[in-house]
Amino acid sequence: MLKVENVTKYYGDFKAVDNISFEVKEGEIFGLLGVNGAGKTTTFRMIMGLLECSEGKITLDDKKIDYSVTDQIGFLTEERSLLTKLTVKEQCLYYGTLKGMKEEDILSRMDELLVKFEIPEYKNKKIKELSKGNQQKVQFITAVINRPRLLILDEPFSGLDPLNIELFKKEIIELSKSGSMIIFSSHRMEHVELFCKKIMVLLNGKDVLSGDLASIKKKYRKKNILIKGDIVLDEIRKIEGVVDAYPFNDGYKVQIENIDMTSNVFNYVKKCNNITEFVVEEPSLNEIFIAKVGEAYEK
């Protein structure tokens, strides 16, 4: 298990990470979220042992993270760091050797991953000859070549098309099923929702929202009602308990203060024509994120 306990990081007098704690167990995918400059990269660097914590401690299976465990860690950085003059094979051999793997194991794992990512024909091509998306695949392959126990993915989908996002998703889920602990960071909340059961939202280095995603959603009082049919938005907006209402897909989304306000909206909708849908749903992570980060800024 990865344990981050009361960790703080100062750069000089500036507190970039402020007393955060979380755990990631085998097979879990944990989402670390935050606006730009919130402290995510600093946290990742401390987890990888590249930066010392100013206070608190980080352990992997109760051991401090140092060079003896780095071969169990894989990292996909936000800034891509491929050696572009090397071929894909040379790149894999380079990273695999750094992780202490035998050449034959590196090559067989590389072949397996190149097939999974649908680029076996690029094995002997130089990285600089590949498209950005394919370079991203190679970077991911090198990050997971050693089947890491702990995998850190910082914005893994940036620059990928939807088909390639699916390929990455499949592999990430497979790794988690085989027991890897995964920390996932993305500005795209819909990606975080797909994978992560537990999250933490950082703002100015502080934990402003954390825990189990399903219970965070349940506890968040505002709900949405999806409606299809002939309603008048201006009339809906005047109903007690309605926070906002706007067109959504081929219907409307109505945000209400809390679940008890549902009947106010329902009483109005009953009088309207052609109603084909009335569904109460939990808010999206994106809505909660924006509200929480906004609230914290106002404090």
Query: Given the rule CB under 6 A, which residues bind ligand ATP?
Result: 11, 14, 16, 34, 36-42, 78
User: Which CB atom, from 187 or from 237, has the smaller least distance to ligand ATP?
Assistant: 187
Shortest separation between residue 42's beta carbon and ligand ATP, angstroms = 3
How many Å apart are CA 192 and CA 184, to the nearest integer?
8
Per residue, the 3-state secondary structure of 262-276, as one string, reads: HHHHHHHHCCCEEEE
User: Which CB atom, from 35 or from 167, has the smaller least distance to ligand ATP?
Assistant: 35
Helix, strand and coil percent figures for the chain, each rounded to 5? 40, 30, 30
> DSSP letter string over 194-217?
HH-SEEEEEETTEEEEEEEHHHHH
Shortest separation between residue 205's beta carbon and ligand ATP, angstroms = 7
User: Which CB atom, from 75 or from 252, has the smaller least distance to ligand ATP?
Assistant: 75
User: Which CB atom, from 41 or from 224, has the smaller least distance to ligand ATP?
Assistant: 41
Contacts of 95 (CB under 8 A, 6+ apart): 142, 145
User: Which CB atom, from 186 or from 224, has the smaller least distance to ligand ATP?
Assistant: 186
Alpha carbon 260 to its chain's center: 32
How many Å apart are CA 178 and CA 29, to the nearest integer?
12
Shortest separation between residue 293's beta carbon and ligand ATP, angstroms = 12
Shortest separation between residue 225's beta carbon and ligand ATP, angstroms = 33
Shortest separation between residue 168's beta carbon and ligand ATP, angstroms = 19
